[in-house]
């Protein structure tokens, strides 16, 4: 799921969006992850 999400988010234009991913690394099986998307203002 994480790979699919990352692949889709990589298509967001860098000029318009900032994307951050928070993932726990010491959890087994299917650890939770958080995706943060910030839409940048026009002209920045």
Residue 7 tokens, joined: 């692949």
Would residue 31 count as lying in a domain?
yes
Residue 13 is predicted with a pLDDT of 92
Would residue 10 count as lying in a domain?
yes
Total structural domains within the chain: 1
Would residue 44 count as lying in a domain?
no
Would residue 9 count as lying in a domain?
yes
Going 36 to 41 to 43 to 44, the CA torsion angle's sign is negative
Where in the sequence is the domain holding 17, given as residue range(s)? 2-39
Mean pLDDT of the residues in the chain: 86
Would residue 26 count as lying in a domain?
yes
> How distant is the alpha carbon of residue 30 from its chain centre?
17
4 confidence band (pLDDT: 50, 70, 90):
confident
Place of tokens 């994307």: 19
34 confidence band (pLDDT: 50, 70, 90):
very high
Residue 1 is predicted with a pLDDT of 74
35: Cβ–Cβ under 8 A, 6 or more apart, which residues? 5, 9, 19, 20, 21, 22
β pairing state of 33-39 and 17-23: antiparallel
Given a cut of 70, whether residue 44 has pLDDT beyond it is: no
pTM tops 0.85, yes or no? no
Would residue 23 count as lying in a domain?
yes
């Amino acid at each position: 799921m994480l790979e699919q999400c990352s692949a889709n988010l990589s298509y967001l234009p860098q000029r318009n969006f900032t994307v951050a991913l928070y993932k726990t690394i010491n959890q087994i099986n299917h650890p939770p992850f958080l995706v943060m998307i910030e839409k940048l203002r026009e002209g920045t």
